[in-house]
Every structure is written in structure tokens, then in C-alpha cells.
């Protein structure tokens, strides 16, 4: 398999991790977090979202030794997770099985706002993972 195809498959894998996490978040993590006090639920929820983004960024920085791909991989993972989450939300809403309903306009706005937040969060996580990796492994060839 050539290098370009391997790279494409790696990025597809990162997107699939995000999609899988968005589905798991919708089906399991959010309902579980409702069982905890609000502050504990927010911490649990935030930590859960850090796991896939951190692992993807770490994998990419090891492969490329460059900050930019690590940041982009982290962004991709979070944004695809948000899109998967809200796609499931829309499906559930269209099936009329939700207890709390929101309008389609609110759903689209939430999707857009959380996608922006995911892009910013992915940028920060990817950057921090790259910097920490660089400092702990003493790599000096980072871009």
C-alpha cells in the first residue's frame, strides 16, 4: 500500500473514531452523566471527550512529528463526533421519541455552535498534545 493511501486511511480512521464516539456519547455517556450531580457530570462529560481527541493527536504526532497534522486530527475527531451526535439527535427527533423536543432551527444552531466549539477544543488539545510530546521526547524537528 502506498504512503498516500495509508495517510488517507489514517484520516478516515480518525473520522470513524469521532463518529463512534459521538454515537457512544449520545447513547451512553450523556444519559449516564445525568445520574451525577451537575458539576461531576460536567467533569465526566469533559474527560470523556478528551480521550479520543488526545489519543488521535498523540498517534498523529508520533507518525508525522508535526504539530499541524496532530491539531487537524484532533479537530477532525471532535467535529465528526459532534456531527454524529447531532445526527442521532435529529433522527431521534424525527422519530418523535424524545421527551424534550427542540425545533429544527435550534438543532441546526446547536450543531453549528458545538462544531465550532469542537474545532476550537480540537485545536487546543491537538496543540497541547504536540507540545507535551515534543518536550517529553526531546524532539527538535517539530514544524
pLDDT tens for 120-138 read 999 999 999 999 998 898 6
**What are the residue boundaries of the structural domains of the chain, listed by start?**
43-143
Does the pLDDT at position 143 exceed 70? no
What is the pTM (predicted TM-score) of this model?
Answer: 0.85
pLDDT tens for 5-34 read 888 899 999 999 999 999 988 888 767 766
Helices 67-94 and 38-64, axial angle in degrees (round to 10):
140
Question: What is d(CA 80, CA 37) in angstroms, rounded to the nearest whole number?
Answer: 28
Amino acid at each position: 500500500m502506498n504512503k498516500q493511501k495509508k495517510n488517507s486511511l489514517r484520516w478516515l480512521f480518525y473520522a470513524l473514531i469521532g463518529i463512534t464516539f459521538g454515537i457512544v456519547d449520545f447513547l451512553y455517556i450523556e444519559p449516564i452523566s445525568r445520574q451525577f450531580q451537575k458539576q461531576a457530570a460536567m467533569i465526566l462529560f469533559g474527560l470523556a471527550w478528551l480521550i479520543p481527541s488526545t489519543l488521535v493527536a498523540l498517534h498523529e504526532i508520533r507518525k508525522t512529528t508535526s504539530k499541524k497534522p496532530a491539531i487537524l486530527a484532533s479537530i477532525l475527531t471532535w467535529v465528526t463526533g459532534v456531527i454524529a451526535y447531532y445526527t442521532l439527535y435529529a433522527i431521534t427527533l424525527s422519530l418523535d421519541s424524545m421527551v424534550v423536543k427542540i425545533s429544527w432551527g435550534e438543532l441546526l444552531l446547536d450543531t453549528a455552535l458545538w462544531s465550532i466549539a469542537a474545532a476550537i477544543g480540537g485545536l487546543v488539545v491537538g496543540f497541547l498534545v504536540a507540545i507535551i510530546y515534543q518536550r517529553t521526547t526531546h524532539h527538535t524537528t517539530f514544524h
